[in-house]
């Protein structure tokens, strides 16, 4: 029975004292009884460590690890996941608020899937609802077709519960893009993924968050804008990472896509990439919730490769 299996929750922290207690309270009070909380702090300089030491003293299932040097967001999650002992592994950010039945519902619903995630509600820095959900801005995907994750991602790390065998296939994370995007791609190559339509996390949006999915206005001093040419190079690196994954279900397609992307970097316009995207548009744009015109616009932007981007964007 799944309800007897241990769930490890991997929580990474870095200077998160503003919201950390609220998140910890939502984790330690989960209705699912068999949990361990693996916390890895990445050299915080605020009050984060004092908060973590207070909670770990009160709750024996909290295991606290402190990095001797800063690893960065993705490598820290990699370390935290590697320390997990459970049959299932869930990921947690330091600034969200979990539904108290989140883990219980995900364990019951995962079935034969390797990974299950859920909808999330966007809230402001004070935890007040923005009346917007992840499912309002993108299509949540269930199935076993990895191609849907080549251009878009609908999985947020905070929403993930995975079987430990998937964890073993994921690590180490590639350098390109976000670790949760890689989870979707690998999970659908090895098996299937599913989602729960219910929102089980209040997903906090604030100035210091690592992601800005709603593209809200931010203090420009906090993060430097990324040029179009750098974005193109990141996309090329991401596709290369997918090509190099040794257990691709459809290796010929991903190799062809990568080859066309490389051509597009040097050519003014790549008809080969246009044709490939158009022929597979239903699959490649499954997650994209926008209208046909917006999808076409996205495809055209992808086609104006490295030369045009370098000339006009830097």
- For the chain, the structural domain boundaries read 2-204, 228-313
Q: How confident is the model at residue 18 (pLDDT cuts 50, 70, 90)?
A: very high
Higher pLDDT, 24 or 179: 24
Nearest to residue 287, comparing CAs of 195, 178, 220? 195
Higher pLDDT, 103 or 3: 103
Q: How confident is the model at residue 230 (pLDDT cuts 50, 70, 90)?
A: confident
Higher pLDDT, 48 or 263: 48
Domain 2-204 in CATH 3.90.550.10:
yes
How close are the terminal C-alpha atoms of the chain, in Å? 56
Q: Supply angle C-alpha 190, 78, 41, rounded to 5.
A: 150
Q: How confident is the model at residue 262 (pLDDT cuts 50, 70, 90)?
A: confident
pLDDT digits (tens, 9 = 90+) for 39-54: 999 999 999 999 999 9
Does the reported pTM lie above 0.75? yes
Phi, psi angles (nearest 5°) of residue 102: -55, -55
């Amino acid at each position: 029975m799944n309800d007897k299996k241990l769930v490890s929750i991997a929580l990474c922290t870095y200077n998160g004292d503003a919201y950390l207690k609220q998140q910890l309270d939502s984790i330690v009070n989960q209705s699912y009884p068999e949990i361990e909380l693996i916390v890895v702090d990445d050299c915080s300089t605020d009050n984060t460590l004092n908060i973590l030491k207070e909670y770990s003293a009160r709750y024996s299932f909290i295991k606290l690890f402190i990095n001797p040097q800063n690893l960065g967001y993705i490598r820290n999650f990699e370390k935290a996941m590697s320390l997990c002992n459970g049959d299932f592994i869930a990921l947690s950010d330091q600034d969200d608020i979990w539904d108290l039945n989140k883990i219980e519902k995900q364990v019951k619903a995962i079935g034969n899937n390797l990974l299950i995630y859920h909808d999330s509600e966007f809230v402001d820095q004070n935890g007040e609802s923005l009346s917007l959900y992840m499912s309002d801005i993108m299509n949540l995907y269930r199935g076993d077709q990895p191609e849907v994750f080549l251009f878009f991602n609908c999985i947020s790390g905070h929403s993930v519960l995975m079987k430990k065998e998937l964890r073993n296939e994921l690590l180490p994370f590639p350098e390109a893009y976000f670790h949760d995007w890689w989870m979707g791609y690998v999970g659908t190559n090895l098996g299937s993924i599913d989602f729960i339509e219910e929102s089980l996390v209040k997903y906090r949006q604030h100035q210091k968050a690592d992601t800005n999915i709603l593209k809200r206005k931010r203090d420009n001093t906090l993060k430097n804008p990324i040029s179009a040419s750098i974005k193109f190079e990141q996309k090329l690196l991401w596709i290369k990472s997918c090509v190099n994954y040794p257990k691709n279900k459809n290796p010929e397609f991903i190799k062809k896509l990568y080859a066309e992307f490389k051509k597009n970097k040097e050519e003014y316009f790549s008809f080969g990439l246009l044709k490939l995207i158009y022929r597979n548009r239903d699959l490649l744009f499954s997650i994209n919730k926008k209208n046909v015109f917006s999808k076409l616009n996205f495809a055209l932007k992808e086609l104006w490769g490295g030369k045009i981007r370098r000339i006009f964007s830097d």
